Amino acid sequence: MYQQALCRFGNFNAIQLSEPAPLLELLTMALKDDESMSDVNEKEKLEIAEVNTEILKENAEMINEYFSIHIDQGGNLTRLPVVLDQYTPDMDRLPEFMLTLGNDIAWDVEKECFRTAAAAIGNFYALHPPILPNPSGKGIRLYKKNKDSMESAGQADNDLTSTDEDDIDQELLAEAEAAWAQREWTIQHVLFPSMRLFLKPPKSMATDGTFVQIASLDKLYKIFERC
């Protein structure tokens, strides 16, 4: 996603949000969820959110021109860039993304500004696991209606993995199953084909364990010839 952000620099298509998203609210949400800010009181968090809102508004023209992130004069986010066709980022991570843009971008140094902005976009668009846990296998136990009243995580397996329909939050389970099914479909039909076409990994990834060779066609041909 980072490479795609760099390749599409200044030439992004855009996703139009169905409703404008107020920056101040997004930033406030991100600060509340940020564990490193747990010791900061609400008033200080609001002040930080206001400062970051002003930073993003001041740089709105630049980030719209180069990254198709549109912020209107009222401080509302209205458009996001298309980093990969047929792919939509996890919008639950939008508050965190806007906080990163406001807080971690080197606005005063052109090259570093573009690099850090592309890195923030790449991280936002990366395929993260759904917020809801995977319900397959024993994971279904996490959707038991009475999970909060369990005495301990060490209860018998037959209790933890009960699939009694009356004991399972079916609505939440269906939402989780849909999210994980969509993730698998996206990996198979969008990400893998795109990686085959566009990914240009650095040489270091050949030896650091990022890529692992599973088979060699040359060696397989020799085996088939002997057969």
Neighbours of 77 (CB within 10 A): 22
- Report if residue 214 sits inside a domain: no
User: Is residue 73 one of the residues assigned to a domain?
Assistant: yes
Answer yes or no: is 83 within a domain: yes
Amino acid at 91: M
What is the domain range of residue 17? 1-125
Any domain includes 35: yes
Give pLDDT, residue 157. Answer: 46
Who wins on pLDDT, 40 or 188?
Answer: 188
38 against 159, higher pLDDT: 38
**Cross-strand pairs, 15:** 80
Q: Judge whether 109 lies within some domain.
A: yes
Residue 97: φ, ψ to 5°:
-65, -45
Q: Is 88 part of a structural domain of the chain?
A: yes
Question: Is 64 contained in some domain?
Answer: yes
* CB-based contact 27:53 (threshold 8 Å): yes
Measured distance CA(53)–CA(101) in Å, rounded:
10
Give the count of domains, the chain: 1
Q: Which of 93-97, 103-107, 183-187 has the lowest mean pLDDT?
A: 103-107
pTM for the whole thing? 0.74
Find the DSSP H helices in 69-216: 94-104, 110-125, 157-160, 170-186, 192-198
Please give the residue that has the higher pLDDT: either 177 or 145.
177
In a domain, 131, yes or no: no
Mean pLDDT across the stretch 59-85?
92
